[in-house]
Amino acid sequence: MPSRSEAPHISVIVPVLNEAPAVAPLLGTLAAQRGVTLELVIADGGSDDGTVAAVRALAAEVPFPVTVVTAGRGRGRQMNAGCRASRSGTLLFLHADCAFPDPRALLTARESLETAIARRGDGRVAGHFRLRFARSDAAPALPWHFYEWKARLHRAGCTHGDQGLLIRRSFFEEAGPFDESLPILEDVALAARVAAAGEWLLLPGEIVTSARRFEVEGVRERQTVNALLMNFAHIGWSDGVAELVAGYRLQGGAERLHLAPILRRIDGLLRRLPRAERRRLWHATGGYVRGNAWQLPFALDARRHFRAGDPPGSGEATLLALHDRFFDRLTDNRGGTAAAALLTWLWFRLSLRRERPDEKKRAEDLPRPSVR
């Protein structure tokens, strides 16, 4: 354990809100790390389930100092507060439900980051780990293979907080801090600024995160809502973002998602807008969808390697390369954007028609719990 006058190699900053069950596993996975000195800063957003008491009770049992800071609710606000309370020149932002199977994961991550910084020469490098989901059913499945491989890419929208964020304090102060005005997606916004100012590094270690939200809410349903949320944030439709954030439950309160009520609410918001504004939003959505069309050939690449038994991230993404070389260039124009907008509009209308009669009332009665 470093002395109070000695800065640790890494300051680990974890935002929490009602994460009492995750506290012991989190401290355990960090205590198992070897070859690197740590400090842990827990940034609490107002937990009322005993999270803070659990952290303090376990703090004396781990080989690193633990600090608890209180901040207003919101991951961006909490992580910024944790950063201010930390002492190391290297920061690692984590989620509470993560784990590191390799006890040398943080050592090799730090070494890889330092090597990349020395190669680049200006310190503008940030790293994230190779993501793996911890699932109740560990049998290989194509959706998880796809998402775990996608999380290793450095394309826009592919880097999220559940992959961990290792960054020098100096670069974080340049590219950051986290945007506290965002109710969600603060990690995606910072990732974009990191990519614009420097570069991303895929770290050699693996991080395991819980798949509990996807399993409870439904993989297809959660990913559809995530895609809508990413689009609304990208095109700057704040009302759409607010609508989806209002229905975002804390982990402990997650339950099966029903898309029809959510889509009907979005449709209601759109209908209240002037026709010109609706056209603008659909056109902007077309641009976002066209720009993310690469995920279709990438999914076919992932399926091919999954069937061959290859682990996520191995093998060539040949169809994705063809898309980037030909299809993306052919559609990067007004016609391609219009076609993508039309196809998305048709998907939206058809999805609304699939609504079951009993979901009409659910669309009006769906609760709006607090968001992290």
Q: Is the pTM of this model over 0.85?
A: yes
Confidence of residue 362 (pLDDT cuts 50, 70, 90): very low
Looking at the DSSP bridge assignments, the partners of residue 167 are 91, 126
- Greatest pairwise CA separation for the chain in angstroms: 65
Q: Could you read off the pLDDT of 105-155 as tens digits, one per residue?
A: 999 999 999 999 999 999 999 999 999 999 999 899 999 999 999 999 999
Q: Could you read off the pLDDT of 297-312 as tens digits, one per residue?
A: 999 999 999 999 999 9
Q: What is the pLDDT of residue 138?
A: 86
Residue 159 pLDDT exceeds 90: yes
Confidence of residue 355 (pLDDT cuts 50, 70, 90): low
Q: What tokens does 144 get?
A: 């998880």
Q: What is the pLDDT of residue 9?
A: 98
Residue 346 pLDDT exceeds 60: yes
- Of the CA atoms within 13 Å of residue 359, those in its CB half-sphere come to 15
Starting from the edge strand earliest in sequence, which strands make up the sheet with 90-93, in order?
A: 66-70, 38-44, 10-16, 90-93, 165-168, 125-134, 199-210, 98-99
Q: Could you read off the pLDDT of 210-264 as tens digits, one per residue?
A: 898 899 999 999 999 999 999 999 999 999 999 999 877 655 566 888 898 999 9
Q: Could you read off the pLDDT of 1-11 as tens digits, one per residue?
A: 555 557 899 99
Domains of the chain with CATH codes: 10-210 (3.90.550.10), 214-365 (no CATH)
Cα separation, 98 vs 94, whole angstroms: 7
